[in-house]
Amino acid sequence: MKLTRLFYKYYFINKHQPVIITGVSGSGKTTVCRELIRLGYNAIDLDDIDGLYFIRHISSGKIVSGPLILTLEFVKQHIMLCNDREMKKIILENSDNLVFYCGNLFEADHVYAMFKRIYLLKVSDKLQIDRLEIRPDNFWKNLEVQKWLLQCKKKLEDIICQQNPILINADKNIEEIMEDIFQTI
């Protein structure tokens, strides 16, 4: 299989180097993570790691704790941040293996520096909304939320692009996306 050969080459050239696959909500991070796991690779969905993210009120700086009820107003007033110490700990715990980390580090420039390679999944607005529409959580199906998310998309992608990521067209099917990822290694 072509992907296996490319991965084999990558593994022995860049053994034990962490890779981040990131993008906006609906870009396909979780789907890529599941596909990597299905193909037998070590991949971690960052959304599944308790304590990796925390939420801070933008104007007061206070950390939010307890159960959250997502509303657009809440999201506009808060920022989700990656706990860089926790991310570093996770990378160190997995330093004997090549690991693909799939998720969003938000506005954490210093956290992106922990990775050997950064892949940014870029998705068209229409496909992004289509993907959000099929999520079980009703929050993402709200038209105002979708409009707000599209407005924030460019800012978030611009922040990630400052890290010189490898851009992946996430409008393709999963097999083509995986091939694009492995061909750029």
Q: How many CB atoms lie within 10 A of CB 144?
A: 9
Question: Is 90 a residue whose pLDDT tops 60?
Answer: yes
Task: For residues 95 and 144, give the distance between their C-alpha atoms in angstroms, rounded to a whole number.
Answer: 42
Going edge to edge, which strands form the sheet with 19-23? Answer: 43-45, 100-102, 19-23, 117-122, 166-169
Residues 100-127, mean pLDDT to the nearest whole number: 90
28: its two tokens: 């396909």
Task: Report the chain's terminal Cα–Cα distance, integer Å.
Answer: 16
The pLDDT, as a whole number, for residue 16 is 56
- Show the DSSP H helices in the chain as ranges: 2-13, 29-38, 72-77, 84-93, 109-112, 125-133, 143-161, 174-183
Is the CB of residue 83 less than 8 Å from the CB of residue 54? yes
- For residue range 1-30, list pLDDT tens digits in order: 455 545 544 444 455 579 999 999 999 999
More confident residue, 59 or 68: 59
Return the CATH number of the domain spanning residue range 2-49+84-170: 3.40.50.300
The answer for residues whose C-beta is within 8 angstroms of residue 96's C-beta and 6 or more apart is 16
- What confidence score (pLDDT) does residue 8 get? 46
Checking if the pLDDT of 127 tops 90, the result is yes
Position with higher pLDDT, 17 vs 134: 134
- pTM for this entry: 0.87
Sequence ranges of the domains in the chain:
2-49+84-170
φ/ψ (deg, to 5) at 100: -95, 120
Q: What is the pLDDT of residues 32-67, one digit of tens each?
A: 999 999 999 999 999 999 989 999 999 999 999 888
pLDDT, residue 122, reads 98
